[in-house]
Amino acid sequence: MFQIFDVLIIVAVALNFMALGVSRIRGVINAVALQGVLLGIFPLFIHSELGLRGFALMAVAVILKGRVIPAFLIEAIREADIRHEVQPIVSFITSLLLGALGTALALVFSSTLPLTTEHTSLLLVPASFSTVWTGFLMLTTRRKAIMQVLGFLILENGILLFGLLLLEAMPFLVEAGVLLDLFTGVFVMGIIIHHISREFSSISTDDLSELKE
Amino acid sequence: MTERLVLCAIALAAVSGMPGVALGRKSMAGQWIAAVLAIVGSGLGLAGLVLFWMFDDSQPVVIPWHLPGAEFNVAVDGLSAVFLVPIFVVTMMGQLYGLAYWKQTDYPQNGRKLRFFYGFLTAGMALLVISRNSILFLFGWEIMAVSAFFLVATEDEKPDVREAGWIYLVATHTATLGLIALFGLLHAVSGSYTLAPLAEGSISPAMATSLFALALFGFGLKAGLMPLHVWLPGSHSIAPSHVSATMSGVIIKMGIYGLFRTLSLLPTPPIEWGVVIMTLGAISGVLGMAFAIGQHDLKRLLAYCSIENIGIILLGLGLAVIGRSQGRADLVVLGVSGSLLHVWNHAFFKSLLFLSAGSVIHATHTREIDSMGGLAKAMPWTALAFVVGSVAICGLPPLNGFVSELMIYLGMVDLLEGSSAAFAGGALAAAALALIGTLAVACFVKAYGAVFLGVARSQAARQAHESGLPMLLALGVLSACCFAIALGPLALAPIFDKAVAVWAPDLPEAAPRLVTLAPLNWVTLMGGVLIAALVAARLLLGALLRHNGSTRSVTWGCGYSAATPRVQYTSSSFAQMLVALFSWALRPEVERPKNLPLFPRAARFHSEVGDVVLDEAVLPSFSFTGGLFSRFRVFQQGNIQTYLLYIFIALIALLLWR
């Protein structure tokens, strides 16, 4: 059982690299969506008894992350007439190298953490740090506002991975709250993207620096 | 019962402006509701105070609170009771006056905002005065400070109003910063946020002095102590007049209350504190009045007079501190009573002056003294109220200012009996107080003369008319308060004895009472005789004039009956000599004709007194600091990615830290 789970986690981390390395926005959206679905079904592997509410919540998370949000983003691209290149500030190779460095550091860092014995063996903690790091990279090194939305989603996935450790302790209400937050966040940013593109006829955040005063 | 009534008053005051917000812009109903609620509230509060003084009916109200350290703990004691009186009376009169002065129909865009925050202001001040927990105190303090900001900025569409409001906001929050430090330190030494007296010897002298210095800074800034007064003239002159009256009459007294309360908590003070307070008081008094004389703006003039009166109050407080440090009960009683009575007096006569100044401004639409003149004929009742206020503020009998200044004088005379150092101190302080009184007379002769006597200097002043009934009613009540204190100080003596007992708990039981130390019955007698003589002289003069016949002429015509406004004293020319005498401190900007030719053409003379501390110390240092901080602009890239990077770096730094 745990063997399969570890493989899934590695796939999730690999999706990080895909998100960092792909040059078309559609590709990044697909990677993030796939990662969301993967994370959505993780509770099945960790906890044998989920109950009806657990299943319902899982289903909502999978549908939101795998279907609704990607569809929304693709719609935004079409609506705002965004070109398909990612346009990174640092090159894709550098992004990938930084991502790899972050993952390595995450492995080192999580081995120093005072975790309970049942958690130390899991890859969950380093994977979580690595995903958060990827999210930050995405947020800081990409020019288009839609990439910030995607970076935010990856960041949230990382936090969710960490949260899986605490699934027993964490009430579902919190989980549901996080999902709602995420959905609203994406929704609001979608609207902002739309407005930025209308105002500046592009969604590059460079134009926003005119507003700094 | 007292606490419950006062809490009712607070609640009524706080909600008084709310119905008006829901009502229409042009509707007068909200204004009447606010006034009725506030007046009923203040009435309840005053009734509570009467119960307290007559039956000692105080039951502290303590309600636990979730906030760490905080507790809803309120109680009325002798000291709070004294400070509650001006809060209730002045805000009550302010609401009444506002009915005609700031009509909703005349000011549809800001009238509702004004009344909303005026109610909160009253509530905040009353709350801080009765709170026995420092966090609750800060809540009241901030409610007061922030609502006062919105009141100062009532007409926020004008740039000068925004500027004055901004200066006020910065100053008041600097004061709050000092208070947070003070209460934090107090918590560190006492282990609780309850405002209870510290045991003798429980803190080191250095700690006590730090607490005192913080209190003097925080509360002194609020009280407008010189040189911490920079916010005061601007905000007092720019606010609507009943707000100015409240600020000058009551808000700055909250600083004085804070000083009194803090000193009552600390153990027996060293004599140096008293000397510091008295010195600051003398400086504020003399220079405050000197600045007042140089002003051309009627409300700015009154604002500087507030600084002067804070000086007198501090002279009394300093006297009391010296008395406590030396174990001299007579000095404590005279100092505290004189100081607290002056708090009342100043609240009444200064709000009377501000309200009558407001009536004048309402009638002439200007604050410039040099555009007024001759208003006594058009506005006789307002002029009479201004005379009452002026005589009172100058400390002349038969009005109330005399009584409190007399007590402080008596204390200073008592100080002369001590050592030679005390003799010098007492003599100097008495001289300073005398100088303050003299300057005050000069200042108010100028103000009254230039505003009410002579002939009108502008078209607006010529067309002035007496103000509406609510405004006159407010002036009448405040004048009556001034007379009542002047004629019945004996009745008030027990009130101040109670306050003294709270302020100096270490005073022996057999300490002398105020009645035995000050000849209060003589004050009443002399005042009565003087008033009777004045009334008799007026009647006699009237009869003589009717009998002999008389011609009407203008004041300051000096027998030349065709005088024009140009031969009158202006506010600059009247003050010229005194301004020149004090030019080392006032630094007036004088524009005078130079190198007059043999046959001079038209020339002009003009002098202007700005605020030295604000213009030459505070603003330059602010702009210097501003320049320093502008170097941090490089971090402001306007780039979302960079900002996210900052957050990320901060996160990593926090993770790695320890």
Q: Do A208 and B637 count as a contact with CB atoms less than 8 A apart?
A: no
* Model confidence pLDDT, tens digit, residues A151-182: 888 888 888 887 777 766 666 666 666 776 77
- Look up the domain containing A154 and give its range: 2-211
What is the rounded CA–CA span in Å between residue A130 and residue B13?
Answer: 58
Instruction: Name which of B638, B641, B648 is nearest A89 (Cβ-Cβ).
Output: B641
Residue A1 has pLDDT above 60, yes or no: no
Query: Contacts of residue A140 in chain B, CB cutoff 8 Å?
Result: 641-642, 644-645, 648
Q: Are B164 and B238 in contact (CB under 8 A)?
A: yes
Report the percent of chain B where pLDDT is more than 70: 98
The structure tokens listed for B474 are: 């407010």
How near does any CA of chain A get to the CA of B632, in Å? 14
Residue B476 has pLDDT above 90, yes or no: yes
Q: Pairing relation of β-strands B589-591 and B71-74?
A: unpaired
Q: Is the dihedral of CA B33, B40, B88, B61 positive or negative?
A: negative
Mutation to test the B interface, candidates A140, A152, A192, most B Cβ within 10 Å: A140
HSE-CB of B341 using CA atoms within 13 angstroms: 38
* Model confidence pLDDT, tens digit, residues B521-548: 888 898 899 999 999 999 999 898 888 8
Query: Contacts of residue B648 in chain A, CB cutoff 8 Å?
Result: 136, 139-140
Residue ranges of alpha helices (H) inside B228-270 are: 232-238, 241-246, 252-265
Mutation to test the B interface, candidates A112, A133, A139, most B Cβ within 10 Å: A139
What is the rounded CA–CA span in Å between residue B355 and residue B246?
Answer: 10
Q: Do A208 and B640 count as a contact with CB atoms less than 8 A apart?
A: yes
Residue ranges of alpha helices (H) inside B416-488 are: 420-452, 459-462, 469-487
Mutation to test the A interface, candidates B630, B634, B648, most A Cβ within 10 Å: B648
Q: Are B400 and B349 in contact (CB under 8 A)?
A: yes
| Whole-number Cα distances in Å, B457 to B360, B383, B564, B566, B571 | 14, 17, 9, 8, 12
Instruction: Name which of A142, A145, A205 is nearest B639 (Cβ-Cβ).
Output: A205
Domain count, chain A: 1
Q: Which residue has the higher pLDDT, B82 or B377?
A: B82
Q: Which residue has the higher pLDDT, B361 or A4?
A: B361
Q: Are A144 and A89 in contact (CB under 8 A)?
A: no
The structure tokens listed for B592 are: 């005078």
Burial B457-485 (b: 16+ CB within 10 A, else e): bbeebeebebbeebbbebbbbbbebbbeb
Q: Are A119 and A156 in contact (CB under 8 A)?
A: no
Query: Contacts of residue A136 in chain B, CB cutoff 8 Å?
Result: 644, 648
Q: Are A110 and A129 in contact (CB under 8 A)?
A: yes
Residue A201 has pLDDT above 70, yes or no: no
Mutation to test the A interface, candidates B635, B641, B643, most A Cβ within 10 Å: B641
Q: Compute the radius of gyration of chain B from its Cα atoms.
A: 26
Instruction: Name which of B636, B638, B644 is nearest A140 (Cβ-Cβ).
Output: B644
Q: Do B641 and A208 count as a contact with CB atoms less than 8 A apart?
A: no
Place of tokens 């067309």: B463
Query: Contacts of residue B644 in chain A, CB cutoff 8 Å?
Result: 136, 139-140, 148
Mutation to test the A interface, candidates B635, B640, B651, B654, most A Cβ within 10 Å: B640
User: pLDDT averaged over chain B?
Assistant: 88
For B541-579, the DSSP string reads HHHHHHHH------TT-TT-TT--GGGSPPHHHHHHHHH
- Which 8-state DSSP code applies to residue A65? I
* Residue in B closest to A147 by C-alpha: B641
Residue B140 has pLDDT above 80, yes or no: yes
Query: Among A79-93, A189-203, B16-30, B393-407, which is the least confidently predicted range?
Result: A189-203
> Which amino acid does the sequence have at A165?
L
The structure tokens listed for A137 are: 């990279």
Q: Do B639 and A89 count as a contact with CB atoms less than 8 A apart?
A: no
Q: Are B505 and B264 in contact (CB under 8 A)?
A: yes
* Model confidence pLDDT, tens digit, residues A100-154: 998 998 888 887 777 766 665 668 888 888 998 898 888 888 877 788 888 888 8
* Residue in B closest to A89 by C-alpha: B641
Backbone angles phi, psi at B155, to 5 degrees: -95, 65
Q: Which residue has the higher pLDDT, A195 or A146?
A: A146
Backbone angles phi, psi at B657, to 5 degrees: -65, 115
Instruction: Name which of B638, B640, B648 is nearest A148 (Cβ-Cβ).
Output: B640
> In a 3-state reduction of DSSP, which class is residue B73?
strand
Q: Do A212 and B641 count as a contact with CB atoms less than 8 A apart?
A: no
What is the rounded CA–CA span in Å between residue B377 and residue B373?
Answer: 10
What is the rounded CA–CA span in Å between residue B468 and residue B454?
Answer: 24
> In a 3-state reduction of DSSP, which class is residue B591?
strand
- Closest residue by Cα to residue B503 from B648, B316, B375, B231: B316
pLDDT value at residue B197: 86
Residue B280 has pLDDT above 90, yes or no: yes
Instruction: Tell me the CA end-to-end span of chain A in Å, nearest whole number.
Output: 56
- Helix (H) or strand (E) holding B590, with range, is strand B589-591
> Which amino acid does the sequence have at A196?
I
The packing angle between helices A2-21 and A92-111, to 10°, is 150
Query: Contacts of residue B636 in chain A, CB cutoff 8 Å?
Result: 212
* Residue in B closest to A213 by C-alpha: B638
Q: Pairing relation of β-strands B606-608 and B589-591?
A: antiparallel
Q: Do A136 and B638 count as a contact with CB atoms less than 8 A apart?
A: no
> In a 3-state reduction of DSSP, which class is residue B133?
strand
Instruction: Name which of B636, B638, B645 is nearest A140 (Cβ-Cβ).
Output: B645
Sequence-distant (6+) residues with CB within 8 A of B457 are: B370, B371, B372, B373, B374, B565, B568
Q: Do B642 and A148 count as a contact with CB atoms less than 8 A apart?
A: no
What is the rounded CA–CA span in Å between residue B282 and residue B314?
Answer: 8
| Whole-number Cα distances in Å, B285 to A110, B224, B278, B279, B521 | 68, 11, 10, 10, 28
Residue B596 has pLDDT above 90, yes or no: no
| Whole-number Cα distances in Å, B322 to B211, B310, B337, B414, B536 | 18, 18, 14, 12, 44
The mean pLDDT of B428-450, rounded to a whole number, is: 91
**Cis preceding-peptide flag for B227 (omega within 30 of 0):** yes
* Model confidence pLDDT, tens digit, residues B202-259: 888 899 999 999 999 999 999 999 888 889 998 998 999 999 999 999 999 999 999 9
* Residue in A closest to B646 by C-alpha: A140
pLDDT value at residue B424: 81
Residue A192 has pLDDT above 90, yes or no: no
Sequence-distant (6+) residues with CB within 8 A of B616 are: B587
* Model confidence pLDDT, tens digit, residues B314-332: 999 999 999 888 888 888 9
The structure tokens listed for B264 are: 């009552």
- Helix (H) or strand (E) holding B608, with range, is strand B606-608
Q: Do A212 and B637 count as a contact with CB atoms less than 8 A apart?
A: yes
B616 pLDDT band, cuts 50/70/90, is confident
Beta bridge partners of B608: B589
The mean pLDDT of A95-99, rounded to a whole number, is: 90
Q: Do A140 and B636 count as a contact with CB atoms less than 8 A apart?
A: no
The mean pLDDT of B133-138, rounded to a whole number, is: 92
Q: Which residue has the higher pLDDT, B254 or A203?
A: B254
Beta bridge partners of B71: B64
How near does any CA of chain A get to the CA of B645, in Å? 6
Report the percent of chain A where pLDDT is more than 90: 5
Sequence-distant (6+) residues with CB within 8 A of A131 are: A12, A13, A16, A35, A154, A155, A157, A158, A161
Residue A203 has pLDDT above 70, yes or no: no
Tell me the count of A-B CB pairs closer than 8 A.
Answer: 32
Q: Are B71 and B63 in contact (CB under 8 A)?
A: yes
What is the rounded CA–CA span in Å between residue B273 and residue B278?
Answer: 9
Burial A176-209 (b: 16+ CB within 10 A, else e): eebbeebbeebeebbeebeebbeeeebbebebbe
| Residues on A contacting B at a C-beta cutoff of 8 Å | 89, 136, 139-143, 145, 148, 205-206, 208-212
